[in-house]
Structure 1
């Protein structure tokens, strides 16, 4: 029991020395001031943009498009992509601070079947010969 009391007293003394309580005559440097974060105030309070693109690649059968418009905090747009089964998937979406993100997915009619695309041979295998 005496050993435990001795160990506790030693721990308290070591802690007091580390905290500077027993070093009254020693001066410590003032803590460094925290760095001040700069805030970028160059922003547009009503951002606006519009963009669109369309890809129709007859060689690979890639078919996709997207268009989007932003007015302030309201974003509206849609995109479409040709599915492997030949249908067109179109997603029409809106996003705003009140309603969040909302999307409606539509599937369109079949399009022309995609042409077969040759697959590259694995590394080290002989290249295929096309007729």
Structure 2
């Protein structure tokens, strides 16, 4: 009986360890199962959110803009014919040395005009242009006067300084 008791105690101890191990395995399986269920639920929620956004975007694109051109609120007169106009303006301000202007005339698809500006170097730039139908913008650029460049110098050095 002396040998049987320690063997029986050892068997009970082993049985207890196996039971605890089985409990842990069951808990691990249960935790793993809950983890998988959570991930599936979470991925389903994300999928539903993405799907909802895509459906809303597709619906918005299919409808087009929710507005159209406004209806005329008055009886706008129809054009009386091809466009015709003539204008000119100029600025001459001696204190600031500003001198520029513009003139243009249009009759249907033919436009002609010119503009000028006083340049900082003292010259006057004149641009004459025409547009006839689909010919595009044709410009003739001319300059009047001689460019004047002031002497660039820094003057004399202050007393006690010298440039080497």
Match of 2:145 among 73, 85, 109: 109
Normalization by structure 2: what TM-score? 0.42
1:47: how far off? 1.0
The aligned runs of 1:1-131 (5 Å cut-off) are 42-110=78-146
Higher helix share: 2
Higher-Rg structure is: 2
Unmatched 5+ residue regions in structure 2? Answer: 1-54, 56-67, 149-164
Note the aligned Cα RMSD (angstroms): 2.7
Gaps of 5+ in 1: 1-17, 19-34, 114-131
Corresponding pairs, count: 80
- TM-score (normalizing by structure 1): 0.52
CA displacement, residues 47-101 of structure 1 (integer Å, 9 cap, x when unaligned): 1111011111011000001110000111100000000100000000001223111
Name which structure has the greater RCO, CA cutoff 8 Å, separation 6+.
1
More strand by share: 1
